[in-house]
Structure 1
Amino acid sequence: MIDLRRLHVLRAVAHYGTVTAAAHALHFTPSAASQQIRQLARELGVDLLEPQGRGVRLTAAAEGLLAHADAIAARWEEAEHELRAEYGAPSGQLRVCGFSTAVSVLLAPMAVRLRERHPRLSVRIQETGVPESFDLLFEGAVDLAVAEVTPHNPPLSDARFDQRPLLDDPYDLVVPDDHPLAGRERSDLAEAAHEDWIAPVPDSPCRPHVMSACGAAGFTPNVIHHALDWNVTAHLVAQRLGVALVPRLARLPPHLPITRVRCAGDPHRKLLICTRRGCRERPAVAAALEELRELAPTAVA
């Protein structure tokens, strides 16, 4: 009989990439995590890790075992749902996470609606970056995440996660009120090609979207200033220090002398609702998904 706790350690190594990182996430020492995997390998009579440079990598046997482990994890989620189904209405605790804009515009209103409609359900919200959202889902620390599509996300085929589209969030060109483009209902980004630009910081998941949209319009933006927060971006634009592309979901201070102009071609980012595989049918998660689907269309109107 396979020890499922040891199997979980192997899954963590695959998820985090190293034994040390997996051990840290599981609150083990690296030597204890390695020992768990060695014991699992002895039980099965196969090698699960092999040297690669200064680290290790999973063997083919380990990869095959993980496919079964992911299926077991999904079936366990389904079993838990069946056990809870007899209680009917959503109850207990629902843990959700998302990046800052998603929390403000989607998850917070969702929590209010759930509180009104399901008084026995308690919602806990955590603001996180996109990579951390998948870590928290994998660890079982949250039940649902709203995440932005980035090149670093797990592939949609990843058997551990259920990732489905929520909405397309268009980018608007933000300019000072007295800018020549401020009076336009819609503008081609190429018309801002010679402007100074304010862009997200280099490691922001939004940065590639901004650069790609400008590239599709035929230019590389002259980025003068970098900002981490959309509120900071708005203040820089208001001081006539440049123009910027800002997602429509981002709520900018209404008192600032800035104008949002819709862009030709509708450059956008995609948002996903993510859960662990087998978790979507749980009453609390299903109720949250229903609320998010109702909120999404009006959030970007």
Structure 2
Amino acid sequence: MIDLRRLHVLRAVAHYGTVTAAARALHFTPSAASQQIRQLARDLGVDLLEPQGRGVRLTPAAESLLAHADAIQARWEEAERELHSGRDTPAGPLRVTGFPVAVAVLLAPMTARLRERHPRLAVRIREAGVPEAFDLLFEGETDLAVVESTPHNPPPGDARFDQRPLLDDPFDLVVPEGHPLAGRDGIDLAEAAREPWIAPVPQSPCRPHVMSACGAAGFTPDVVHHALDWNVTAHLVAHGLGVALVPRLAALSPALPLVRVRCAGRPHRKFLTCTRAGGDRRPAVAAALAELRALAATAVT
């Protein structure tokens, strides 16, 4: 019989990419994690890891086993739900995760609504970026995440996760007051092609959206400043140091002399809800998803 704890170590190696990273996430030593996988391989009578350069990679047998392992995890989520099927009122702890804008606009008001409607439900919010949110879901440290869609997310068909569209957050061109484009109801982004630009830092999930929007408009922006936080971007724009694409849901200080201008073609980023496969049918998670969908319907104006 397969030891499910050893199987989880193999799943962690596949998720994190190396034995060392998997061991760190599981609070093992690398040697202990390797031993777990070697024992699993002996139990099954197949090789699960093979050398690749200085590291290792999964064998075809391991890849095949993982497809079953992900299905087992989903069935386990389903089994837990069925065991508690008589408790259809949301109750107990619910751990939710999101990046800063998602926490401010969606998860905080969602938690307040759930507290009023389901007093036996204890929601705990954790701020986290996209890669960490998927790690927390995989590790069982969070039950529901609101993430941005990025090229680095697991593919939609990944059997470990259930990812669903939640809303589209449009980008506006933000310019200083008095700028020639400030009085317009809407613009073609190409009209800002010759402007100096302020862009998200290269590791930001929004960086590809900004560069793609400019590329679709037929130009590569002259990026003279980079910022991680949207309010840093806003201060740079307010001082006349460039223009920027900023998501509409990113709250900027009303005291700054800025103007948001809507863009033709509606460049946007996508918000997704994500749970472990099968986890969305838990009463607490289902209640949270319903509130999120209601909030998302009116979040963008």
Name the TM tier (shorter chain).
Answer: over 0.9
List aligned pairs for 1:140-155, cutoff 5 A: 140-155=140-155
Unmatched runs of 5 consecutive residues or more in structure 1: none
- State the one-letter code of the partner of 2:231: N
Report the secondary structure of 1:85's partner residue.
coil
- Moved beyond 2 Å, runs of 4+: none
Mean Cα displacement is larger for which, 81-90 or 64-73? 81-90
List aligned pairs for 1:59-208, cutoff 5 A: 59-208=59-208
Report the secondary structure of 1:253's partner residue.
coil
Determine the C-alpha separation between the residues in 2 that align with 1:270 and 1:236.
25
Report the secondary structure of 1:69's partner residue.
helix
Identical pairs, percent? 80
Compute the TM-score of the two structures, normalised by the length of structure 1: 0.99
The count of corresponding residues between Structure 1 and Structure 2 is 301
Question: How big is the shift at 1:157?
Answer: 1.0
**1:188-226 deviation line (CA, Å, top 9, x unaligned):** 111111111111011111011101101111111111111
Determine the C-alpha separation between the residues in 2 that align with 1:231 and 1:119.
35
Question: How big is the shift at 1:297?
Answer: 2.1
Question: How big is the shift at 1:153?
Answer: 0.5
Question: How big is the shift at 1:240?
Answer: 1.0
Instruction: Give yes or no for the alignment of 1:265 onto 2:265.
Output: yes
Compute the TM-score of the two structures, normalised by the length of structure 2: 0.99
Question: How big is the shift at 1:85?
Answer: 2.1
Report the secondary structure of 1:259's partner residue.
strand
Report the secondary structure of 1:280's partner residue.
helix
Report the secondary structure of 1:146's partner residue.
strand
- State the one-letter code of the partner of 2:252: L
- State the one-letter code of the partner of 1:230: W
Determine the C-alpha separation between the residues in 2 that align with 1:60 and 1:141.
29
Determine the C-alpha separation between the residues in 1 that align with 2:298 and 2:235.
26
Unmatched runs of 5 consecutive residues or more in structure 2: none
Question: How big is the shift at 1:256?
Answer: 1.1
Determine the C-alpha separation between the residues in 2 that align with 1:44 and 1:202.
44
Determine the C-alpha separation between the residues in 2 that align with 1:220 and 1:11.
41
Report the secondary structure of 2:159's partner residue.
coil
- State the one-letter code of the partner of 1:147: V
List aligned pairs for 1:251-290, cutoff 5 A: 251-290=251-290
Question: How big is the shift at 1:74?
Answer: 0.3
- State the one-letter code of the partner of 2:31: S
Backbone CA RMSD of aligned residues: 0.7
**1:265-287 deviation line (CA, Å, top 9, x unaligned):** 00011111000001000001000
